[in-house]
């Protein structure tokens, strides 16, 4: 169930949910959770995880709660209506093993009429996200995020400032041989340096769905 002002299900959400690795009974925090899309995907993939979202928009927060109830996972998927920039007022530090985020991408130009906050960084910068993740994560906990490739340098910088060490990077191309269209990054709180780089594409050179795409969408 969608709502006004929140970002709908996208390939980005599918990619991030597939990129995440969870230990058993993982407690997950979704920063900027919208209608609970990522939480629904993770609860479907990992039958023993629990996901809490933090969402600024009240209607999106309420839609997330309805989505959880309608899917019979209200005991595993919940939402907090609040501003992640004020996370010390919302959560005890070190409460979560994993943080995830599919954040706003765009910093300039006119805002979308349908998703003004979901698409723009006005209410959620990379600095805000990394600071919030560092507060919420246990030592050794993981932060997973999807973003545009041109923001990778800034993302790694803000992660490092907050003691989140980049450990795994996926470069995602829409088509084999084409430019990188998205990056997915896993950072670990307090970890030593050491980065694994992966590459995937959604379409092969002929424009057909790749093996990765078929696995992503369970085809």
Half-sphere exposure of 29 (CA within 13 A, CB side): 28
pLDDT digits 0-9 by tens, 121-137:
456 799 999 999 999 99
Residue pair 102/12 in contact (Cβ under 8 Å)? The answer is yes
Q: What is the bridge-based pairing of β-strands 137-147 and 180-189?
A: antiparallel
The predicted pLDDT at position 59 comes to 96
The predicted pLDDT at position 123 comes to 61
The predicted pLDDT at position 73 comes to 97
pLDDT digits 0-9 by tens, 22-74:
999 999 999 999 999 999 999 999 999 999 999 999 999 999 999 999 999 99
The fraction of the chain above a pLDDT of 70, given in percent, is: 88
Strand, helix or coil for residue 206 = coil
Residue 96 has pLDDT above 50, yes or no: yes
State the average pLDDT for the chain. 90
The predicted pLDDT at position 105 comes to 73
């Amino acid at each position: 169930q969608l709502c006004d002002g929140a970002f709908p299900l996208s390939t980005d959400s599918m990619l991030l949910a597939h990129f995440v690795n969870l230990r058993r009974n993982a407690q997950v925090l979704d920063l900027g959770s919208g209608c609970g899309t990522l939480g629904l995907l993770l609860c479907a993939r990992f039958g023993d995880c629990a996901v809490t979202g933090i969402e600024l928009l009240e209607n999106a927060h309420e839609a997330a709660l309805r989505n959880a109830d309608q899917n019979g996972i209200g005991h595993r998927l919940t939402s907090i209506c609040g501003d992640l920039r004020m996370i010390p007022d919302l959560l005890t530090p070190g409460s979560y093993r994993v943080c995830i985020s599919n954040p706003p991408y765009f910093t300039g130009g006119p805002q979308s009429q349908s998703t003004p906050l979901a698409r723009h960084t006005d209410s959620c910068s990379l600095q805000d996200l990394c600071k919030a993740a560092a507060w919420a994560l246990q030592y050794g906990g993981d932060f997973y995020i999807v973003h545009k490739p041109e923001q990778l340098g800034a993302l790694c910088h803000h992660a490092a400032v907050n003691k989140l060490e980049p450990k795994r990077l996926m470069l995602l191309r829409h088509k084999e041989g084409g430019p990188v269209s998205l990056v997915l990054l896993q950072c670990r709180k307090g970890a030593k340096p050491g980065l694994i780089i992966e590459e995937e594409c959604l379409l092969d050179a002929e424009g057909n769905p790749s093996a990765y795409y078929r696995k992503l969408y369970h085809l």
